[in-house]
Amino acid sequence: MARYKEIKIRIKSQYPKLPQTHRNLGDYFIENFDKIPFLNVQEISEATSMSVASVVRFAQRIGFKGFLEMRDEISKELQNRIRQKEIFSLVDEGKIKNDILSSVANLDIKNINETLHSLDRKNYESAIKMILNAKRVYTAGLGISFLLARVLAYQFNQVAIDAKSFNHDDASFMEQVLFLNRDDLIIAFSYPPYSKETVDVAKFAKEKNIKVISITNKNASPITFYSDATLVVKSDNLLFTNSFAAISVLINAITTQCAFKNKAKTEKILKEMNEIADLHDLIVTDDYLKKNFNGD
C-alpha cells in the first residue's frame, strides 16, 4: 500500500514533468489531502476547473491505475492517522464566535497540529545533518520571512552554529551568494506571495553546488525545485498575511535538536557568553535592582 507521505513524494517528483493543468491538480491534491477521500472525481473536476479525464490521467501519471485507486490509498492512510490522538486539542469552535483572540489561537493550533502530522521526518533529519555539517549557515527571506530568517540566525548563534542572515540593504541576495562556497548552507524562507528574489537565490545556489534547505507552506511552492531538503510548515491566517506560530515551533525545534547533537560545543559557547555578560555588566542582576530601585 502506498503510504500517505509517499503519494506526496510521488506528486512532487513528477511535478517538473507535468503539464501546467496537471501541476494545478498536484497543488490541489497536496493542499487538500485530508479531503480527497470524501470527494468524487466530478467534485475534484469542478473544484479545479479541470476535466474528469484530466483528473484520471493525473492519477495515472502519479503511478495509479486511476483516481479511485489513488483515493482509496489516501483514505486507508487517513484512517490510520486519525486513530492517533491529536497532540494539541483545539478550542471548542462553539465557544469562539465573535472572539478573535480564540479564533486566531484556534487556527494557530491547527497549523501546529497539521505541521506535526505531515512534516517529512526524513527531510527534517536530513536538514539537521546539513546544518551541523555546514561551515557556515546563511538564512534568507523577504517580508515576514526576512524577520524569521534573522530569528533563526540569532538562535543558531546561541547554540554555537556560525550563522548569518542575508541583508537586503546595500547588496542583493544574489551578490551575497557569490561569496559562499560548497561548505556553506542556505536556509530560505518562502511564503506567499513568493518572492522571486528568494527563489532565484536558491536556484543560483543550486547551480553553485551550495546546499539549500527551504522552509515553505507547500511541497509544490516554487523554491522546492531548487532545494536539497524542504520543510513544509502551515501558515494559514485569518488575515492576508502568514501566521508564524508553527514556523516558530519549527525554528525552536531545529535549534534545540542541533544543540543536543552538539552539546559540548553549545555548553562552551554559552559559558563564554555568560562570562562576557558578567565582565561587561550586561545583565540586570538582583544587586542592580536593589541599588537602583531600592529593592521594590
pLDDT in tens, 26-58: 888 888 887 888 788 998 999 899 999 999 999
- For residue 283, the model assigns a pLDDT of 61
User: What residues does each domain of the chain span?
Assistant: 4-82, 118-261, 264-296
Which one, of 124, 137, 116, lies nearest residue 212 by Cα? 137
Fold classification of 4-82 (topology level) = Arc Repressor Mutant, subunit A (1.10.10)
Q: What is the mean pLDDT of residues 258-270?
A: 79
CATH class of 118-261: alpha beta
What Å distances lie between residue 244 and 213, 234, 249, CA to CA?
18, 9, 9
Which one, of 187, 149, 193, lies nearest residue 168 by Cα? 149
Question: How are the residues of the chain apportioned to helix, strand and coil, as percentages rounded to the nearest 5?
Answer: 60, 10, 30
Which has more pLDDT, 256 or 10? 256
Backbone φ and ψ for 252, nearest 5 degrees, come out as -65, -40
| Rounded Cα gap, residues 294 and 168, in angstroms | 45
- For residue 277, the model assigns a pLDDT of 64
What Å distances lie between residue 231 and 100, 167, 191, 264, CA to CA?
29, 23, 12, 27
Asked which of 41-55, 72-86, 213-227 is least confident by mean pLDDT, the reply is 72-86
Which has more pLDDT, 10 or 274? 10
Asked whether the domain spanning 118-261 has the same topology as the one spanning 4-82, the reply is no
Which has more pLDDT, 204 or 263? 204
- Mean model confidence pLDDT for the chain: 84
Tell me the longest C-alpha to C-alpha distance in the chain. 79
Which has more pLDDT, 168 or 84? 168
| Rounded Cα gap, residues 199 and 149, in angstroms | 15
- pTM as predicted: 0.66
Q: Is the dihedral of CA 212, 216, 219, 223 positive or negative?
A: negative
- Residue 17 cell numbers, joined: 514533468
pLDDT in tens, 82-115: 555 444 555 555 555 567 888 888 888 888 988 8
Local confidence band at 62 (pLDDT 50, 70, 90 cut-offs): confident
9 close to 198: Cβ distance less than 8 angstroms: no
Q: What is the mean pLDDT of residues 203-226?
A: 93
- For residue 2, the model assigns a pLDDT of 46
